Amino acid sequence: MSKRITCQRRGKGTSTYRAPSHRYHGSIKYPEYLDRDETMTISGTVTDISRDPSRSAPVLDVRFDDGKKARILGTEGVKVGDVLSHGASAPVARGNTLPLSRIMEGTPINNIENHPGDGGKLIRSSGTYGLVISHDGRKTVIQLPSGTLKTLDSRCRATIGVVAGGGRRDKPIMRAGKMYRMLGSKAKYWPIVRKVKMNAISHPHGGGSGHPGKPTCVSRNTPPGRKIGLIAARRTGGRR
């Protein structure tokens, strides 16, 4: 009898593949109560900087002037005791959050909303930043870290500066165990072995000295234990 393949074990949700969410700080978004009044501007003081195992960037604990607390994504150069502003009238300074329409061209930004009020979706990894390219009416063109240009609503909010934690990938990983622990905190399965290098009992593509020995296309009605590879493919191979 063969073993359960990786996609079956992952779907079952064992401890190997289940994310340790009890260690996470939760979602890091812009305060929701500030979405109701777009003209509102409020300031807050950074009280603590903490590490979240689920993300590469540090998290800032901010206490606003109205007494409410929030956790926001850390910006490079912001430290405990700094005062950050959030709103349409906030100055264009490092760590402040304001709509794209108020940010001048060429300014580095991070934690950008994809739609107004979604709390920030784009450019949240450590050491990354985007650039404001141009404004055109109610639309703003930004450049992502990949170089891709994206057009967004000018009401979308963004934070000025670079995401903190840069240089994370500059130090080489010398041991396989270190990579295993790093990815384990985010429930990333590693190392990933090529299926053609497995034994025949472990995967339908296993055995045969690194060759599947049979077509890798399967029917859409194939049982879960055999449903791997190209599922109901209309065509295979490179286009000519």
What's the structural domain count of the chain? 1
With a CB cutoff of 8 Å and minimum separation 6, the contacts of 221 are: none
Amino acid 36: pLDDT: 57
Q: Is residue 192 included in any domain, yes or no?
A: no
Q: Is residue 203 included in any domain, yes or no?
A: no
Q: Is residue 10 included in any domain, yes or no?
A: no
Q: Is residue 240 included in any domain, yes or no?
A: no
Q: Is residue 139 included in any domain, yes or no?
A: yes
Q: Is residue 235 included in any domain, yes or no?
A: no
The domain that holds 86 is classified in CATH as: 2.30.30.30
Identify the segments of the chain with pLDDT beneath 50.
Answer: none
95: domain range?
21-160
Question: For residue 198, with 0-12 CB atoms within 10 Å meaning exposed, 13-18 middle and 19 or more buried, which class applies?
Answer: middle
Distinct helix (H) and strand (E) counts, the chain: 2, 12
Please tell me the distance from the alpha carbon of residue 183 to that of residue 202, in angstroms, as a whole number. Answer: 23
Q: Which of 73, 82, 98 is nearest to 155 (CA)?
A: 98
Residue-wise pLDDT for 164-187, tens only, equals 999 988 889 999 999 998 888 888
What one-character-per-residue DSSP string does 23-71 give?
A: GS-------GGGSS-TT-EEEEEEEEEE--TT-SS-EEEEEETTS-EEE
The DSSP output letter for 122 is B
Q: Is residue 177 included in any domain, yes or no?
A: no
Q: Is residue 85 included in any domain, yes or no?
A: yes
Amino acid 174: pLDDT: 94
